[in-house]
Amino acid sequence: MILSKPEIRRRLDSGRLSIDPVPSDSRIGAVSIDLRLGRKFTSFKQGGLPEHIPVIRVRPSLFGSMDLWTHEEVDTFDIEPRGFVLAQTLERVGLPNDLMGLVEGRSSWARVGLSVHLTAPKIDPGFNGTITLEIANMGPAKVQLVAEEDEPAQLMLFELREPLDAADLYGADESDIFQYQSEPIPRNRR
């Protein structure tokens, strides 16, 4: 079951859903919560891969490579056509054992060519942290992203038929490297 605005508000008010800062009523839609951009942006360094890195393999060590990433904390970020950046939500989201979320882009952003997440919309029960947005510009023009103002994504919440046990929640396993994230990539663990 998808949570509606009254159910979202009740869960926020009772503490059965944690979003910090708490969204105003104007940011809670009929079945979703609008999410704002945070100030941290991570992108691949200009110029491509360094010579000593012939190919990227997706491993936890990838995120710690100082040779690949540029990290910025800024009020605005311009994303060029065919550009890609990892951003984060301003909001820190904590999901209980009976909710899962889906992050989706908003149509106004898609209409200028921005994809807000490439393949990772699912937020597991137990997750606690900021949500990383994988933003790609497929449009013909540079797009300026404004931190703490722009709302390029929305979070839909789904109630599970049966809540998960603590051992099955996201973050229960050491391999859950995105738990408690406060950066677009997991540079700090817990």
Q: Output the CATH code of domain 5-168.
A: 2.70.40.10
Average pLDDT, the chain: 90
Where in the chain are the domains?
Answer: 5-168
Query: What is the pTM assigned to this prediction?
Result: 0.88
Q: Which residues are catalytic?
A: 134
132 CB-contact burial (10 Å; exposed 0-12 / middle 13-18 / buried 19+): buried
Residue with the two structure tokens 């012939």: 54
- In contact, 3 and 30? CB cutoff 8 Å: no
pLDDT digits (tens, 9 = 90+) for 142-162: 999 999 999 999 999 999 999
What are the tens digits of pLDDT across the range 24-48? 999 999 999 999 999 999 988 876 6
Q: Are 32 and 154 in contact (CB under 8 A)?
A: yes
Give the largest CA-CA distance in the chain: 55
CA distance 121 to 155: 9
